[in-house]
Amino acid sequence: MLLIAGVFMQGQDVRVAEVNFEGANRTKISFIKNLVNLEEGMVLDSVLMNRDILRLKRLPSISHAYYKVSSMPNETCEVKYVIEENFTLIPFANLFSSSNDNFAFRIGLQEFNSFGRNITLGAFYQYDNYSSFGLSVRAPYLFSNKLGLALNYNDFTTLEPVFFQDDTADYKYSNTGFELLGLYELNFKNRMELGFSFFTEDYQYIEGATSAGVPLSLNVDKHLFKFIYDFNSLDYFYHYLEGFRSQLNLQYVGSTNSNLPEFLIGFNDFTYFKRIGDRGNWANRLRLGLASNVDSPFAPFTVDNNLNIRGVGNTIDRGTGMVVLNTEYRQTLIDKNKFVLQGNVFVDGGTWRNPAGGFDDLLKSENLRIYPGVGLRFLHKRIFNAIFRIDYGYGITKDGDNGIVFGIGQYF
């Protein structure tokens, strides 16, 4: 929303005499000034100001923003950026189950605007047969308006199925380690992350099939190098999205044990959003992934409720390649001052390459899973990511399952 007083600037080089900010209560003005490109003394530039507004709306602390231009003497003007802030201390919960899975959940707390500088501090606790926890810090503008860092520590323990020779075994799986990432914003639409992690993976056999080639216990020290490239041309209007985004994630994982060999892995998320009328939003995500095609029961890509296919179950299969498409239509049913109720219909579909298999695995019907479904979204316009979702997916391909997936935030 742009409010411009009069038409005094038309055909003139009007100079900006003052740049002010309104509505920033918890977010520090000094932080915002460092992010926007408009400065006093510059020629009034609506393209630059629109880009500043979109950059502000991408911040977790800001739900909406617009500018006002007011005339001043001597062909000058005042530009005021008006900000509507989010509440940013947010508890979250992910609850998931299917018809043949145990109930599992993750709860946590995140502050997205620590110290008024959009630094995210977070912690979580997860129960998925065993207890897990994690801590995280993400400060994308810690050193400048382009350079920051992220630090994560995780101690995961879950019950993981391991697939081999048409049989399945259950292992107690633990992953403990830390990750450090450098964050750099190249320009308005492009940013990158580069970093490493050290962690230990531990597998302990619980029950199920066994094989001479698959150990009953493993404890392996690993290291990982990660590169992320994010192209983001999305436009935001509260909970509505419009535009295209591409997120590339490349990793090299080194290992000290041949049973869990080193491998390369890469995947890209392509997302596209389209506004449909005043209350509709069409959302799409295409995920393409490929990893080193090692013959291992511990393949990196999984088929899982919370990652790719709603209703399929918790880690029901693994592979070394994947193609997943999620498409859904979100319709706003109720839109009050702060509260929004959305309904959605979706189709999640995907296929996987088996460990040591060929690319033709992606075309085989036994590897294809298609799950249509419906869901609800309960949103709060003034609390960042305050979207409580409920989705029910029903499998229509061979041996399809069904289940309900709960969570905080849109699925994608």
Nearest to 123 by CA among 113, 111, 112, 109: 109
Q: Domains of the chain: which residue ranges?
A: 2-85, 89-408
Q: How far is Cα 181 from Cα 152, in angstroms, rounded to an integer?
A: 9
CB atoms closer than 10 angstroms to residue 115: 12
Amino acid type, 4: I
Domains 2-85 and 89-408 share a fold: no
- Mean of pLDDT values over 20-38: 95
Mean pLDDT of the chain: 91
Tell whether the model's pLDDT for residue 259 goes beyond 70: yes
The dihedral sign for the CA sequence 306, 309, 311, 314: negative
Structural element, H or E, at residue 49: helix 46-57
pLDDT for residue 193 = 98
Q: HSE-up of 180 (CA within 13 Å, CB side)?
A: 1
pLDDT at 9 over 50: no
* Per-residue model confidence as pLDDT tens digits over 61-96: 999 999 999 999 999 999 999 999 999 998 887 776
For residues 395 and 371, the answer to whether their CB atoms sit within 8 Å is: yes
The Cα–Cα gap between 156 and 104 comes to 13
64 and 82 Cβ atoms separated by less than 8 Å: no
Integer CA distances (angstroms), 253 to 23, 196, 211, 292, 293, in order: 46, 10, 25, 10, 14
Summarised one tens digit per residue, pLDDT across range 100-143 is 456 778 899 999 999 999 999 999 999 988 999 999 999 999 99
pLDDT in tens, 153-164: 999 998 888 877
Distances (CA, A) of 224 to 53, 142, 160, 165, 305: 37, 24, 21, 29, 25
CA-based radius of gyration for the chain? 24
Q: Class of the 89-408 domain?
A: mainly beta
Q: Is the pLDDT of residue 11 over 50?
A: no
Q: What is the CATH number of domain 2-85?
A: 3.10.20.310
Q: How confident is the model at residue 185 (pLDDT cuts 50, 70, 90)?
A: very high
Q: What average pLDDT does this structure show over 283-311? A: 91
* pLDDT score for 211: 82
3-class secondary structure, 319: strand
Phi-psi region of 200 (alpha: psi -120 to 50; beta: other; left: phi over 0): beta
Taking only the tens place, the pLDDT of each residue in 321-365 is 999 999 999 999 999 988 999 999 999 999 999 999 999 999 999
- Chain segment 197-223, per-residue pLDDT in tens: 999 999 999 999 888 778 899 999 999
Asked if residues 279 and 263 have their Cβ atoms less than 8 Å apart, the reply is no
Contacts of 187 (CB under 8 A, 6+ apart): none
